[in-house]
């Protein structure tokens, strides 16, 4: 499996050509997961997808979702702060990064330490940034 994808390279338009490049199959570890995401993102970066490219992305989406559910799922019983901390860890972000995202560098630490609550605006920003449902932070 490739370790990097050349995003400037022309992506094949036909499903079978994409399959020859990286055949869809179960994802077994985080290295494969990152490689698949990189390839799918390279296909998705095209201004307009062909039918074959859409089918390829849809096929991988099912396999990516299955891997994420098993290996990267957020605990249903997690508090909003625990869920946020999990998402930050997954994204390689820290409290300062969170603060910058929310518009105030010191705010990240205050939220993670329980000294500040998430506002509706914060929740919208976080949901959009992490591409999760806003209810995760309520």
Q: Is residue 54 helix, strand or coil?
A: helix
Question: pTM for the whole thing?
Answer: 0.53
Q: Convert the pLDDT of each residue in 95-110 to its tens digit.
A: 999 999 999 888 999 9
Q: Provide the pLDDT for residue 35.
A: 92
Calculate mean pLDDT across residues 23-40.
92
Task: Evaluate if residue 48 carries a pLDDT over 70.
Answer: yes
More confident residue, 27 or 3: 27
User: Does the structural domain 80-137 have CATH classification 1.20.120?
Assistant: no
DSSP sequence for 109-138? HHHHTTSSPPPHHHHHHHHHHHT--GGGG-
pLDDT tens for 64-97 read 888 888 886 666 678 889 889 989 988 889 999 9
**pLDDT at residue 90, rounded to an integer:** 84
- Residue 58: what pLDDT? 94
């Amino acid at each position: 499996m490739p370790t990097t994808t050349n995003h400037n390279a022309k992506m094949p338009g036909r499903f079978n050509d994409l399959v020859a490049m990286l055949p869809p199959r179960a994802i077994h570890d985080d290295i494969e997961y990152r490689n698949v995401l990189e390839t799918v993102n390279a296909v998705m970066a095209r201004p307009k997808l062909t039918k074959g490219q859409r089918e390829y992305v849809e096929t991988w989406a099912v396999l990516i979702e299955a891997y994420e559910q098993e290996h990267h799922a957020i605990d249903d019983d997690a508090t909003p702060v625990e869920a946020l901390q999990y998402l930050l860890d997954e994204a390689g972000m820290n409290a300062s990064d969170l603060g910058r995202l929310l518009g105030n560098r010191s705010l990240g630490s205050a939220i993670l330490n329980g000294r500040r609550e998430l506002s509706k605006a914060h929740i919208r920003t976080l949901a959009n940034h992490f591409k999760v449902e806003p209810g995760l932070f309520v």
